[in-house]
Amino acid sequence: MDPAARKVTGIGFIDTLQDGMCEQLADLAQQCIAGFSDDRPVSASLVRSRLTNALTGAPPVLAVARDGRGVTGWCAVRRPEPGEARARLWGPVVAPAARRTGLGTRLLDAVVGATRWPLVTTDVPADRHGAADFFSQSGWTELDTVTVLHGTPAQGGFEAATADTVPELEEYVTTAARRHARHEAAFAKATLRRWQDDARFRPGNLLLDTSTGSLLLALAQHTTASSELLLAEVWGADVSARRRLITAAHTMAAEQQWDTVRAVTRQEPADFVACGMHITGRCSTFTLPGGR
């Protein structure tokens, strides 16, 4: 073990997501993704919105490891929401100085042992060496892959409507979810609630193609060094509608002076590539067989 490694004094469960705890979880997560293809700004509000059940407001199953200086690692499970067959695992997130000590395995075992739902991980980048092996060696199997893309803001006319122009936004989102993404109404309502609870959300960045009822959610986020517009969801009726919305997002990014445009998608990335975006990474999700 590295003599400079931080010694963990204990692992405990946290029942509520206080602001101070969210800040600590976000700070550690930011350290751990720096330099990888999924590197992005991580804020306390992002942590809260991703770990809290949007329908019920229930907190996650959250295990936290500490030493004398603060949080050295954490692992969490967000409870399943409508339309989700599995609960979502975040982590384990381990401070660089506490790695190779078995802490990640201890955190993972703690939350798995305290969780009664089938589980799926959040996205694990292919360029994060050892992460896929960690889950495979822990008995998890690969379930799905996602693509990470980057694009450059582009000058041009902004031709999409936005959510701040629609009086019945919940109805619009529910209809789009059902028609274009085959999601139930309860799932759509919970999803809209999570979007609105995210500090990055602005009604003007939820782009609508009203002729087809399609939508694109863009989230603006930044660090001290850079900024980006994340294309988080695209529910489109057809190829032309999806590409209109992706193009509109790039022109909006130029108008708002964001440095780059990023997309993470489970669907075929051809629509993003056709709009000038470039594939920069691949990620996998893993599931734990047997519902353990």
**Is residue 224 domain-resident?**
yes
pTM: 0.77
Same domain, 240 and 139: no
Contact 196, 205 (CB under 8 A): no
Residues 6+ apart with CB under 8 A from 32: 93, 94, 95, 96
Same domain, 43 and 139: yes
Which one is predicted more confidently, 43 or 208?
Answer: 208
**Is residue 4 domain-resident?**
no
What is the domain-level CATH number for residue 81? 3.40.630.30
Same domain, 131 and 179: no
Same domain, 126 and 82: yes
**Is residue 240 domain-resident?**
yes
Same domain, 115 and 200: no
pLDDT tens digit sequence for 19-41? 899 999 999 998 887 777 666 77
Quote the pLDDT of residue 2.
38
**Is residue 64 domain-resident?**
yes
Same domain, 133 and 21: yes
The pLDDT of 223-244, averaged and rounded, is 88
Same domain, 67 and 169: no
pLDDT over threshold 50, residue 54 = yes
* Spatial distance between the Cα atoms of 185 and 174, rounded to a whole number of angstroms: 5
The pLDDT of 6-21, averaged and rounded, is 79
* Spatial distance between the Cα atoms of 275 and 107, rounded to a whole number of angstroms: 41
Same domain, 63 and 31: yes
Same domain, 125 and 167: no
Q: How many domains does the chain have?
A: 2
**Is residue 85 domain-resident?**
yes
Same domain, 128 and 185: no
Same domain, 23 and 103: yes
**Is residue 2 domain-resident?**
no
pLDDT tens digit sequence for 143-171? 999 999 999 999 887 788 999 999 899 99
**Is residue 52 domain-resident?**
yes
**Is residue 1 domain-resident?**
no
Stretch among 1-10, 82-91, 169-178, 278-287 having the lowest mean pLDDT: 1-10
Which domain range does residue 185 map to? 153-275
Same domain, 140 and 168: no
Which one is predicted more confidently, 223 or 72?
Answer: 72
Quote the pLDDT of residue 227.
85
Single out the residue of 64, 34, 51 nearest to residue 128, CA to CA: 34
